[in-house]
Amino acid sequence: MIFAKVEKQFDEQFHSKAVSKGFILTYLVKNPKTSKAYQVSEIIWFFVLLCEFALVPYTICTHPKEVLEVTYLFEFVIDCLWILNMCVSFTTAFVKDVEIITDLREIAMKYLKEGFFIDFITTFPTLCTFYTYPEIYYIKILRLYYISRSQRIIKVQISSLESRLNISKQTIYKIDYFMSILVIVFVMMHSVSCVWLLIGEQY
């Protein structure tokens, strides 16, 4: 069970650093390989992403103001969960060169370089204006950037089945491949359908 061995190795590294750095690292920084809370948050985040992949193209391609009158509360909850995920991103250790990085400054720098800008610009403008300016909503199309993130979540969750259910690596690979393709097909077909809907309404 290669996955289980790697997971154990990173867990040992994480705990050894936690002991040396004390309270903050032990209770604030999460180990993405072994933290149950982090795994649950990733599953919730995956479904949040799926909702956005469906909702954003539809809202943009129809009548944003009218749709937001119906989906405002749902969008508000998603944005709140998005902010929560931003906080998680600032406190989640990551692997670099076969070493788990737990330094909060390095974690923050990594997130600031990768996804912070997209998260900030697609969340706070609409949330702070209470969706009163539908034109701002168009920025949320940038959230499709996280299609690859949803695929990584699938990969991690399915890989864990190897040790839990004693499933062969070949089967794991097939399930991972199928689910990743399914997400891409879903987003592409839905987005194309929304564009056709927009074209039909205009012409």
The residue ranges of every structural domain in the chain are 2-146
Q: Give me the residues paired with residue 95 across strands.
A: 100
Return the structure tokens found at 35: 């933290």
Residue 4 exposure: Cα atoms within 13 Å on the Cβ side? 9
Q: Which residue has the higher pLDDT, 102 or 81?
A: 81
pLDDT (0 to 100) of residue 2: 45
The overall average pLDDT reported for the chain is 87
pLDDT in tens, 155-188: 988 887 776 777 788 888 899 999 999 999 999 9
| Residue 101 predicted with pLDDT over 80 | yes
Pairing status of strand 94-96 against strand 99-101 = antiparallel
